[in-house]
Amino acid sequence: MKILFVCLGNICRSPTAHAIFRQLAAENNFACEVESAGTSASHKGAPPDPRSIKAAIDVSFKGIYSRPVQSTDFDYYDLILAMDLENLAALKRRCPAEHQHKLNLLMSYHPDYASQPEVPDPYYGGARGFELVRQMIEQACEHLLVKLQQRR
Ligand code: 4NP
């Protein structure tokens, strides 16, 4: 199972999902490949935002650097999970028809977020926003892992 988490800059939300799900999978002996990317290339090569790292200080971000979504991702990954509707729409525009079924919102795996299944962009806000993002992503990742374990 190969999973790609996607946000806009790949420096706040998707690296958080990448780091958290990677750790959760390892702790639960769930074999999978985890990666993240941005629909924008504007932060290419940059490490995760220090505010994201601070909000998830107990999680390792080792080896995570921003990179843009590339066309080969749609074939390579089994599951491509966007952080919000804008990024999901950007993915849908680029994804070949045969891989559209791989696209979804991360928060759609969290039963409490059915009506508002988006991780808000924390970039222009304060630390509280980053803490909320970490909490939402962590909970959604737990639901995602259970769902994927049930499928195996
Ligand atoms: P992310 O957050 O998409 O969660 O990585 C953002 C990072 C950078 C910008 C916007 C959102 N930006 O406008 O530069």
44-87 pLDDT tens trace: 999 999 999 999 999 999 999 999 999 999 999 999 999 999 99
**pLDDT above 90 for 12:** yes
Ligand 1 close to Cβ of residue 13 (< 6 A): yes
Which of helix, strand or coil describes residue 55?
helix
CB 122 within 8 A of CB 132: yes
pLDDT at 114: 84
Q: Map out the domains of the chain with their CATH numbers.
A: 2-151 (3.40.50.2300)
pTM of the model: 0.98
Q: How confident is the model at residue 152 (pLDDT cuts 50, 70, 90)?
A: confident
Per annotation, catalytic residue among 73, 121, 134, 141:
121
Residue 106, φ and ψ in degrees, nearest 5: -55, -45
The per-residue pLDDT for range 94-119, each reduced to its tens digit, is: 999 999 999 999 999 999 998 889 99
Find the helix or strand (DSSP H, E) in which 6 lies: strand 2-7
pLDDT in tens, 113-123: 988 899 999 99
What sign results for the dihedral spanned by CA atoms 37, 41, 44, 46? Answer: negative
Looking only at the bridges linking them, the beta strands covering 79-82 and 33-38 are unpaired
Q: What does DSSP assign to residue 52?
A: H
Query: Residue with structure tokens 């994201």?
Result: 52
Chain segment 124-146, per-residue pLDDT in tens? 999 999 999 999 999 999 999 99
Q: Which of 82, 67, 61, 71 is nearest to 37 (CA)?
A: 67
Per-residue pLDDT tens digits for 141-151: 999 999 999 98
Q: Cα of 58 to ligand 1 centre, how many Å?
A: 22
